[in-house]
A and B are shown apart, each in its own frame.
Chain A
Amino acid sequence: MTMTSTFDRPVRQYNFGTMSLLVFPATALLLAFLVLPTAVVVVLSFTDYELGMDGLRYIGLSNYSDMLADRVFWQSVRNTALYVALVVPGSIFTALAVALLIERRRALTRFYKVAFFLPVTATLVAMATVWEFILHPSIGLANHLLKVLGVDPVRFLSDPDWAIVSLAVIGIWQSIGFNMVLFLAGLSSIPKEIDEAAALDGAAGGIDRFLIVTWPLLGPTTLFVTITTAINAMRVFESVAVITQGGPNKATEVILYSIYLEAFQYFRTGYASALTVVFLLVTVSLIILQMRVADRKVHY
């Protein structure tokens, strides 16, 4: 009866001293390392500031107009979009298939889960190094195998047409396990009775049941997984920084790598800030979309 009453209004007893002891460190650090810097990025994006320079000048939207006129910027947007467009379906459909197959098995499921999830835990820089070696044009494992199949060797990383695809394959390889686990959670939340009802209603085969029951009920999970994967794919950085450095010929220049170069290699801070603001806006809109989806997931 009185359980809820404590929560209605501030209680005198929790005086300023107690509260600040609990909340102040976190709030201060939150302001110092998140809120303030983010605000500063927005402000800097309207200036011509360069690190090491003494002063800065307000230049309005010129960073943004420079950006829109920059061929490299559009190249990086295209590359990032292409990367996301490859990784999202590739990772999701593989993960869904694996989850469906694992869910109905008893034997060996632990081994399968470990095998598919292992890349999620492994340091991506190390694995990118390994992938680079595997995709090496002459001594890489991939071309060795192609040779066995009688296919001519492919310059996976130095051919501009192939480079972003190769990185996407690494991205897919790395994210399947994570999505598989989310799909397994989604599958386990589907009531078994519905599946049984569908079976009694005559949905005999696995494909029938998948289309009638599993896929529709998995809809919210799928939507959620899609956006999560998209957000993560948008932040691709390690494989580019380690393997291609944006090359060949800007074929793998992605947004985050552009920001890194502009901000920390060329020190064009103002321009980098403008890029960062765009990156932030896209991320935030995706996350808001994700929250909407997550909200709906509760009710469906």
Chain B
Amino acid sequence: MVRQYSPVSSALAHLVLFCGAIVMLTPFLWMVITSFKTPDEVFLAEFQLLPTKWGGTENYIAAFTEAPLLRLMVNGAVVSLSILVVQVIIAAPCAYALAKIPFRGSSALMALVLLGLMVPIQVPALPIYIAFAYLGLLDSYTALIAPFSISVFCIFLLRQFFKTFPQEIIEAARLDGYSELGIVWCIVVPTALPAIAAFSIFSIIAHWNDLYWPLIVITEPSLATPPLGLMMFRQSSQAGGNIGALMAASTIVIAPLVIAFLFAQAQFIRGLTVTGLK
């Protein structure tokens, strides 16, 4: 049914939505605009939308030289990709077993997974920090990656997906000579790519953006992830008050995910809301 709306109410709705969209986008626009301004114009007491003098080059150079921005981005990529790969490698066989193989203790393990879904990372963070401190693991990639190697959410999500996979195909694979691990990686996982893609987006965004854990375990700037590095840069640059450079750094830090989102909107929305939609 195509409902007819009066042009007036339709125009009104578009006006509201458009204004709302502009409000939502303002921080992004203001960030980019400011990153192009010279310090004089940033600190101008009068409102001025666009820069009159080009300060962008200086700001971005400052962002890359005064903050180890390139290093931060590399750290962010290494950490979030490593976490993702390890999570899937660990979770997929377990999810397959929980979905497709009856075994002693499977319901206990499933209960553990469901309980794990309820525990926010801030709870185990304390003892893990203490353990890492005693093991001398603080300020390392291991400290950033290891605690997230197990994702109960990944197990849960993949199990839901694997449960719908036909048992017959798994049996055919057994007859064809696959081992159980072979079935996981050659048969079941390739057909679960949509679920894995959704989880990947969820996981990468969560860990690229995470501040809490890196803030706790990392003090060495060269090991910082983008949010932590940005926070460190902010604290150091506030004295100098180089807001233009700070905005430039912020722009760079959010750029990879925002650009990726613009190119794959539907996948991003699915990946991020997969937690809420179950």
Name A residues whose Cβ lies closer than 8 Å to a Cβ of B.
Answer: 3, 6-11, 14, 18-19, 21-23, 25-27, 29-30, 32-38, 40-41, 44, 51, 94, 98, 101-102, 104-105, 107-108, 110-127, 129-131, 133-134, 138-139, 141, 144-145, 147-148, 173, 176-178, 181-182, 185, 192, 195-196, 206, 224-225, 228, 235, 237-238, 241-242, 256, 259-260, 263-264, 269, 272-273, 276, 279-280, 283-284, 287-288, 294
Contact = CB atoms under 8 A, between A and B. Distances in A.
B190 interface: no
Contact of A19 (B3, B101, B127, B131): B101
A121 B268 contact: yes
A35 B212 CA distance: 20
A178 B265 contact: no
A272 B180 contact: no
Given A29-B90, A33-B146, A105-B10, A123 B254 contact: yes
Interface stretch (B54-62, B91-99, B191-199): B91-99
A130 B247 contact: yes
Contacts of B231: 125, 241-242
Contacts of A110: 265
9 smallest beta-carbon distances between A and B, as pairs: A37-B124, A26-B94, A115-B21, A125-B227, A144-B47, A29-B150, A126-B250, A37-B127, A40-B127
B28 A118 contact: yes
23 contacts: A10-B103, A34-B116, A37-B123, A44-B127, A94-B20, A98-B17, A112-B17, A113-B269, A118-B24, A123-B208, A123-B227, A124-B209, A127-B254, A133-B30, A134-B30, A139-B43, A139-B45, A173-B24, A173-B27, A235-B122, A237-B211, A279-B120, A284-B118
Contact of A10 (B34, B104, B234, B277): B104
Given A21-B181, A22-B180, 17 more contacts: A10-B104, A22-B181, A34-B150, A37-B131, A108-B14, A115-B25, A118-B258, A119-B27, A121-B205, A126-B230, A130-B247, A130-B250, A139-B44, A256-B122, A273-B126, A283-B118, A287-B118
Contacts of B243: 133
Nearest to B34: A133
B70 interface: no
A123 B152 contact: no
Interface string B182-195: 00100000000000
Given A33-B149, A37-B124, A121 B261 contact: yes
A125 B209 contact: yes
B130 A124 contact: no
A178 B228 CA distance: 24
A33 B128 contact: yes
A276 B126 CA distance: 9
B215 A98 contact: no
A192 B18 CA distance: 27
B112 interface: yes
B133 A51 contact: yes
A224 B113 CA distance: 21
A44 to B, nearest CB: 7
Nearest to B256: A123
A115 B24 contact: yes
B246 to A, nearest CB: 6
Nearest to A43: B127
A129 B269 CA distance: 24
Nearest to A21: B181
Contact of A133 (B149, B230, B247): B247
B3 A104 contact: yes
A117 to B, nearest CB: 6
A192 B171 CA distance: 42
Contacts of B180: 14, 18, 21-22
Interface string B100-143: 01111000010011001111101111111111010000000000
